[in-house]
Amino acid sequence: MKDLNLSHNFIPLTPAELKKKGISQPDFVYVSGDAYVDHPSFACAIICRTLEDAGYSIAIISQPNWKDTEDFKKFSRPRLAFLVGAGNIDSMVNHYTAAKKRRSEDLYSPGGKAGMRPDRATIVYCNRIREAFPKVPIIIGGIEASLRRFSHYDYWDDAVRHSILIDSGANILSFGMGERSMLEIASALNSGMDISDIDSIPGTCVAKSDISGMKDYVLIPSHNEVSSDKHAYAKAFMMQQREQDAIRGKVLVQNQGKMYLIQNPPAKPLTEAELDRVYELPYTRLPHPSYKEPIPALSEVKFSLTSCRGCFGGCSFCALTMHQGRFISSRSHGSLLNEAVLLTKLPDFKGYIHDIGGPTANFRQPACDKQKKSGLCAEKQCLGYFACKNLKVDHSDYVSLLKKLRQVPGVKKVFIRSGIRYDYVMYDKNDTFLRELILHHVSGQLKVAPEHISDRVLELMNKPASSLYDRFLKRYSDMNAKLNMKQYVIPYLMSSHPGSDIHAAIELALYLKRTKQHVEQVQDFYPTPGTLSTTMYYTGLDPRSMKPVYVPKSMDEKAMQRALLQFYDKRNYPIIRNALKKAGRDDLIGFDKNCLVPPPVTGNKNADHRRNKGDFEPQKRAKQKKGSQNSRRK
């Protein structure tokens, strides 16, 4: 196993750095919407280090000025191709909130400064490259390209856009995690193949004007169909999702007008040895030294370890199914222990590993043995409102890994922050993992994501029934009591998801009041490209059944649903009263213990006095004196 170290240099970010390496013309130039952070949590670093490890030279143009072509020319024409990625987050999601308001910061830019990349960065960067070098090959990839590879609903345009491959004018789109497909593309280009002939690599999309010679493919509804017929859009999405498997997936073709988009089957997930190698490449684990301000996103991952890829959780609102996929691939214990030792040698390491996980921390192996040979089921989900009967529930490998990491000299504590699937925990009849989690890997609060409490909404979200969450809370509480500990659960909740009407939001608010849970943050549903929930949002249909789905779309209703989840905040009282009246639930306005908000100010001193009793106050801090609490109740 290769030793991890910090002695290697950065990938060149300037012509002077490229010259210092003795390179006059790089094989590839990677244009990135993010600041260059040489850490394996950043897509640009992983792809560049992977190509470098294979013997290719590469330079990076990070957050170029897109108003003209000058920045794109600084390394001149690469020998093989330009690589383009918008960054770790879709550029539109990076720029705008769910309410379509411009964000004030960009965590992937120096100092968190906003405005360092354009809207639709992949398309804009490709346009500038084409102006500077009309015939140079361009390969696009990353999350933005991956999730926009088919005709897709765009929340910000409120319309269906063409494939990003068509709009950008690039030659090849690499979807998914990209290491395997990029190495195959590089090898083909390096052998002298013309970019137009590289059209069958797994994990890539290309555009062709003629498909008459093609065989064994699935034709999905065209761009014209999906942009004018919502039933066709829903049908196309399900066809796309069914074929996202490296073993049984078929080639997909979608007419885009003058061109056809051709998606080859996904690339095979990396093996354990291949994944180890990717994370053992010589990352400096630092921002490029040219930056005078820190890159905020690095602080979240600097002392974290990625142990796995993929997620079989199947949440409707998550794009992982169309990007990383549902198959779990994991790193070896030895590789992770080596990286943990490396972290302890960093000058600012304080003894705390912040996370050991991935998309879902407690997934370390495929959902069932069948997936390794036959691929993922086209029609069935492993987890969701119901769990598959073939689901293999086993935390033993993860428990073993965590124990080893806790014993690394210099490590004081190992946290788990990337998300625990509580349903997977509940399906495990062995309490060992839950016990270890509470004893060693939680700091007072465990964050889990029930998302909602209405079963009709949960079924659309493909999340487990609310009764399972209640049983988890009891099991978690009982284990804490058994261990003589006091750890609490902090729920992540989502408002305005398709299927959630005002009555579902009220149901959730009443549940929170009854169980005395106070939610500090609420996430509005965000219709990002490539998800089942976004398809519901756009079409008003559940594409799995083609049944109609209620979709909250007005900003007023979204504000009402969000406010209801924070019913205890006095600033929300007016909007909550309005929501309750609209729903015909005036009975929840008053001073009764079951009410959500008091009535409006009347000028009646007695009523106003009652308003200041404890029922409608935010939860008091635990450190407040018991005597003062009693005095408020008198």
The pLDDT tens digits for 8-18 are 489 999 999 99
Report the distance separating Cα 392 and Cα 427, nearest Å: 9
Distance CA 402, CA 414 (A): 8
CA distance 65 to 43: 20
For residue 526, CA distances in Å to 60, 69, 152, 467, 529 come to: 31, 33, 15, 26, 10
Which of the residue ranges 289-298, 321-330, 624-633 would you say has the lowest mean pLDDT?
Answer: 624-633
> d(Cα 535, Cα 319) in Å, to the nearest integer?
12
Give the DSSP letter string of 399-431: HHHHHHHHTSTT--EE---S---HHHHHH-S--
Whether residue 308 contacts residue 331, with contact meaning beta carbons closer than 8 Å, is answered with yes
Number of Cβ within a 10 Å radius of residue 292: 8
Length of the chain: 634
Average pLDDT score over residue span 131-136: 96
pLDDT at residue number 603? 63
- Closest by CA to 590, choosing from 566, 571, 615, is 615
- Tell me what pLDDT residue 520 has: 75
- Please check the confidence at residue 292 and state whether its pLDDT lies above 50: yes
- pLDDT tops 50 at residue 627: no
Whether 282 shows a pLDDT value over 80: the answer reads yes
Instruction: Check whether 6 has a pLDDT greater than 80.
Output: no
Question: First and final CA of the chain: distance in angstroms?
Answer: 68
CA 342 to chain centre: 26
Quick check: 522 and 560 in contact, CB under 8 A?
no
Amino acid code (one letter) for 499 = G
Structure tokens at 364: 């370390």
Pairing, β 308-309 against β 329-330: antiparallel
Check residue 45 and give left, alpha or beta (phi > 0: left; psi -120 to 50: alpha).
alpha
620 pLDDT more than 80:
no
- The H-or-E segment that residue 204 falls in is strand 204-208
Q: Is the pLDDT of residue 69 over 60?
A: yes
- Check residue 9 and report its DSSP letter: P
Please check the confidence at residue 634 and state whether its pLDDT lies above 80: no
Q: Which of 195, 199, 379, 177 is nearest to 267 (CA)?
A: 177
What is the pLDDT at residue 418? Answer: 83
Give percent helix, percent strand, percent coil of the chain, each to the nearest 5: 35, 15, 50
**Residue with structure tokens 């409120």?**
158
- pLDDT in the model for residue 625: 38
Q: Order of strands across the sheet with 445-451?
A: 445-451, 488-495, 523-524
Question: The tokens of 132 are what?
Answer: 């500077």
d(CA 41, CA 361): 15
Where does 133-270 have alpha helices with state H?
142-147, 164-168, 179-190, 223-228, 230-242
CA distance 615 to 598: 9
Q: Which residues, other chains included, contact 603 with Cβ-Cβ below 8 Å and sequence gap of 6+? A: none
Residues 519-558 pLDDT 10s: 877 899 999 999 999 999 999 999 999 999 999 999 999 9
pLDDT at 549: 98
pLDDT of residue 3: 42
The answer, yes or no, to whether residue 609 has pLDDT greater than 60, is no
Mean pLDDT, residues 496-518: 95
List the Cα angle 371/531/232 in 5-degree steps. 100
212 confidence band (pLDDT: 50, 70, 90): very high
* Per-residue pLDDT at 622: 37
Is the separation of the CB atoms in 123 and 168 below 8 Å? yes
% of the chain with per-residue pLDDT over 70? 94
The three-point CA angle 251-255-258 to 5° equals 130
- Average model confidence (pLDDT) for the chain? 92
The stretch 292-304 carries a mean pLDDT of 95
Element at 581 (helix H, strand E): helix 573-582
How far apart are alpha carbons 68 and 252 in whole angstroms?
Answer: 36
Q: Answer for the pair 448, 416: CB distance below 8 angstroms, yes or no.
A: no
Sheet of 204-208, strand order: 58-62, 28-32, 81-85, 138-141, 172-174, 204-208, 260-263, 251-255, 217-220
d(CA 90, CA 164): 12
Using one digit for the tens of pLDDT, what is the confidence trace for 446-497?
A: 999 999 999 999 999 999 999 999 999 999 999 999 999 999 998 999 999 9
Q: What is the pLDDT of residue 604?
A: 58
**No. of helices (H) and no. of strands (E), the chain:** 24, 22
Q: Give the pLDDT mean for 186-210.
A: 97
Looking at the DSSP bridge assignments, the partners of residue 308 are 330
